[in-house]
C-alpha cells in the first residue's frame, strides 16, 4: 500500500479543483454539477461545498447521477441501482461531471449516455480526483484533475473517504 494523497493534501486538492472550475466559469448560473453514483458523490459533495463557500448566496445546480443500467458490464452480474437526483434540465447548460477515479473511461462513457435523458447540454466537462493515465479504453480525458498517476492494471486505487486519503494497492 502506498499513500497518494494524505488528508491535508486531499482537502487542498478539492479546494484547488473548485477554484479551477470557477476560473473557467464566471457565469455560475449556466453551469450544473453532476456527481456520479456511487463513489463520485463523495467528491462532488465536497467540491460543491467549496464552491458554495466561494459564492455565498448564489444558487448552485447540483445533481447525482446513477449510471448502473447504462454500464456495458451490467450483463455479467446483478448490479444494485443507486438513486439519480437531478431535479432540473441540463438543456443548454455547461455540465461538470464529477467522479473520484478515472481509469478505463467506461464509467464516463456510460454517464454521457445517461445524461441525455435530462436534456442536451451545451458542453460537458470532466472533473476527477485521480486520473490513472495510460489505461483508457475510450478517448476520454479529464478537464480538471486532482492528481494524475501512473499505475499498472493489477494495482487498485482507492479513495478512502472515511480516512480522507487516497491509496494505491
Which residues face 149 on adjacent strands? 132
Range of the domain at 131: 2-72+81-168
Which pLDDT belongs to residue 68? 83
Pairing of strands 123-133, 94-102: parallel
CATH number, position 155: 3.40.50.2020
Residue 132, CA distances (Å) to 2, 135, 140 in order:
15, 6, 12
CB proximity list for 37: less than 8 A, separation 6 or greater: 64, 65, 66, 67, 68, 82, 83, 84
Question: How high is the pLDDT of residue 79?
Answer: 58
Which letter does DSSP use for residue 122 in this model? S
Q: Up-side HSE of residue 80: CA atoms within 13 Å toward CB? A: 1
Q: Mean pLDDT, 10 residues at a time, over the chain (169 residues)?
A: 97 98 92 95 98 96 90 60 83 97 95 93 98 93 97 92 96
Q: Domain tally for the chain?
A: 1
Name the grid cell of 132. 490513472
pLDDT of residue 87: 87
pLDDT for residue 73: 62
Q: What pLDDT was estimated at residue 118?
A: 93
Specify the 3-state DSSP secondary structure of 130: strand
pLDDT at site 113 = 93
Amino acid at each position: 500500500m502506498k499513500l497518494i494523497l494524505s488528508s491535508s493534501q486531499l482537502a487542498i486538492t478539492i479546494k484547488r479543483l473548485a477554484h479551477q472550475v470557477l476560473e473557467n466559469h464566471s457565469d455560475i448560473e449556466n453551469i450544473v454539477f453532476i456527481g456520479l453514483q456511487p463513489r463520485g458523490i463523495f467528491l462532488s459533495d465536497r467540491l460543491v461545498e467549496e464552491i458554495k463557500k466561494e459564492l455565498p448566496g448564489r444558487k448552485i445546480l447540483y445533481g447525482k447521477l446513477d449510471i448502473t443500467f447504462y454500464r456495458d458490464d451490467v450483463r455479467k452480474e446483478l448490479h444494485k441501482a443507486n438513486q439519480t437526483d437531478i431535479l432540473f434540465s441540463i438543456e443548454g447548460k455547461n455540465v461538470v461531471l464529477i467522479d473520484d477515479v478515472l481509469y478505463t473511461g467506461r464509467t464516463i462513457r456510460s454517464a454521457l449516455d445517461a445524461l441525455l435523458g435530462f436534456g442536451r447540454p451545451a458542453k460537458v466537462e470532466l472533473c476527477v480526483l485521480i486520473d490513472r493515465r495510460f489505461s483508457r479504453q475510450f478517448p476520454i480525458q479529464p478537464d480538471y484533475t486532482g492528481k494524475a498517476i501512473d499505475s499498472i492494471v493489477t494495482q487498485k486505487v482507492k479513495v478512502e473517504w472515511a480516512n480522507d486519503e487516497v491509496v494505491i494497492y
